[in-house]
Structure 1
Amino acid sequence: MVTEKLDQALVRSFPIFQNTPAADLGTMLNHASPRQVSPGSSVFTQGAMADSFYVLLFGRLKVVQTTRDGHQVIVRHVNPGDLFGIAQALARPDYPATAIALTDSRMLFWNAALWSSFLSLSPAFAQNALHAVGQRLQEAHTRIQELTTEEVERRIAHAVLHLAERSGRPAEGGVLLDFPITRQDIAEMTGTTLHTASRIMAAWDTQGLIDSKRKNLLVRDTFALTAIAERVAE
């Protein structure tokens, strides 16, 4: 277990705990356990029994789903403060995807049996959890719409902009994604091939829109990418 005073100061600004009374938050944190995960290691795997749920304290994760034909799809990235592994909220007994650490990552986790009791304990926690689930469903709906209606370059522009907004930080020359992100990752996020993603991103590199030649991705021109993302197909 972790000390209540330290963790209240650390997590009270996280979306899932916003407006949660100190007494309720203290009760929840008293049941939390810490976990450290190294890069490349899994927090949980697709199909495994969903015995815990998590909040990321620091680091970065990617959530990957493997299709029946063996293809991998990156469902989302997990940022500090995010709630994840909430199969209980979807009434699932197992995890629908695999969570993999991209950097050294530290998190809190709780036994899955506590999910319902936390919802009953704190109306604020319940409201925040409902908002988190709704946001994920909206993101999934938007992604499906993009995959079925948009050309590949627009899908990749949307994906890069979404990453920059959710996971980027200001840096010299643009917005930096300071965790490993490859062209293969972008291909998996946008339902295209590595060849196509590489061709489009190499062109953007040449045009100065991004810098994807190194391990991390630097988004240099969000305005130009937004114009591509919002371009109407002819």
Structure 2
Amino acid sequence: MMSESSCLCEQIAGPGAELHPKCFGHVWLFEGAPPEAWDTISADLARKKCAAEDVIFSQGEPAESMYLIKMGSVKIWKVDEEGRELTLDIRKAGDLLGESVLIEESDYPVYASALTPTLICGVDRSTFEKLVEAHPQVGLAVIRNLSKRIDYLTGKLGALSEPSIEERLYKVLVNVAEQVGTPESGGWSIAFPLTHEEIGFLVGAHRVSITRALKKLKDLGKVKSQGKYIFVARAAA
């Protein structure tokens, strides 16, 4: 069995790079399936380094591969009918991109672009289908875990049900901090990668309202500016 430490991603990332320890066989989507099944297709996985702002895949492009983020962070966004860019999510090392490839043949519904220097590891649909044919447990795990994921995402929608912009903003900031922030005593420190306008799309509010809400959160001690970083305090128990 190939150990995670011997992953080819380390060779591509270069010396000193901090890679997420999990490979495909150990992420949530395949929980319950034998991780060693992925060893049989390791040579067929596509590894790629991306610079900040590089587009990994585009909205409307045929969805052919799913990716695991091994290093860095990625912004998920789309362009609406009026040509506006809408930020939908931030993914971190250890997260997946393009999971819909496993379910149906379609186009990517969103853009994915690197926020920071990023390393991704990709598996295309045909390679994954060969894996499932050889190891049916992998396919069963996907069905089971996608069902669990739907329940999780339904819970995340609760942030948008908060009546005040301040509370919605705080929940979004906590969510982003949990994904890309550095844990500290009492909260998280994040080198915030989004503009007020992009935060507004995540919260469902205009940029001016976000600026005002952010000031109120600072007054309440829930958020603090620390140079290029933002400190997000944990909610009181």
With normalisation by structure 2, the TM-score equals 0.78
Residue identity matched to 1:53: M
Cα gap change, 1:31/1:190 in structure 2, threshold over 3 Å: closer, same or farther?
A: same
Once the 2 structures are TM-superposed, how far is the Cα of residue 82 of structure 1 from its aligned partner? 1.4
Give the Cα–Cα distance (whole angstroms) in 1 for the partners of residues 207 and 139 of structure 2: 40
Report whether the alignment pairs 1:222 with 2:222: no
Higher mean alpha-carbon deviation, 70-79 vs 186-195, is at 70-79
- Within 1, Cα distance between the matches of 2:69 and 2:205? 29
- 1:61 maps to amino acid: V
Amino acid at match of 1:222: R
The residue identity in structure 2 corresponding to 1:103 is T
Residue 19 (structure 1) shift: 5.0
Q: Which region of structure 1 is more displaced relative to structure 2, 156-165 or 39-48?
A: 156-165
SS at match of 2:235: helix
Inter-partner Cα distance in structure 2 for 1:165 and 1:28:
32
- Check 1:46–1:57 CA distance in 2 against 1; reply closer, same or farther (3 A cut): same
Which residues in structure 2 correspond to 1:176-215 (within 5 Å)? 176-178=189-191, 180-212=193-225, 214-215=227-228
Tell me, yes or no, if the aligned pair for 1:60 and 1:103 is still in contact at 8 Å.
yes
Aligned length: 223
- One-letter amino acid matched to 1:54: Y
Structure 1 unpaired stretches of 5+: 227-234
Q: Percent identity?
A: 21
Deviation at 1:119, TM superposition (A): 3.3
Tell me if the contact between 2:196 and 2:210 (Cα under 8 Å) persists in the aligned partners: yes
Other-structure match for 1:171: 184
The 8 Å contact of residues 18 and 124 in structure 1, kept in 2 or not, is answered as no
Q: Paired residue for 2:61?
A: 48
User: What is the DSSP-based 3-state SS (H/G/I as helix, E as strand, rest coil) of the residue aligned with 2:210?
Assistant: helix
Query: What do the CA deviations read for 1:31-55 (whole angstroms, capped 9, x no partner)?
Result: 1021011101110010111122111
Amino acid at match of 1:129: V
Structure 1: distance between partners of 2:36 and 2:156: 38
Q: Does 1:162 align with 2:206?
A: no
Cα gap change, 1:22 to 1:115, in 2 (>3 Å): closer
User: Which range moves more in the overlay, 102-111 or 172-181?
Assistant: 172-181
> Per the alignment, do residues 109 and 137 of structure 1 end up closer, same or farther by CA in structure 2, a change over 3 Å counting?
same
Deviation of 1:90 after TM superposition, in Å, equals: 4.3
Cα distance per residue 1:160-199 (max 9 Å; x no partner):
1222333332136631234523322321111111111111
Task: Name 2:143's counterpart in structure 1.
Answer: 130
Q: Deviations over 1:15-41 (max 9, x none)?
A: 345454354121132210210111011
Distance 2:205 2:62 in 1: 31
- Show CA shifts across 1:64-89 (max 9, x none): 02222223322221111112112323
TM-score by length of 1: 0.79
Amino acid at match of 2:218: D
**Distance 1:132-1:82 versus aligned 2 partners, 3 A rule:** farther
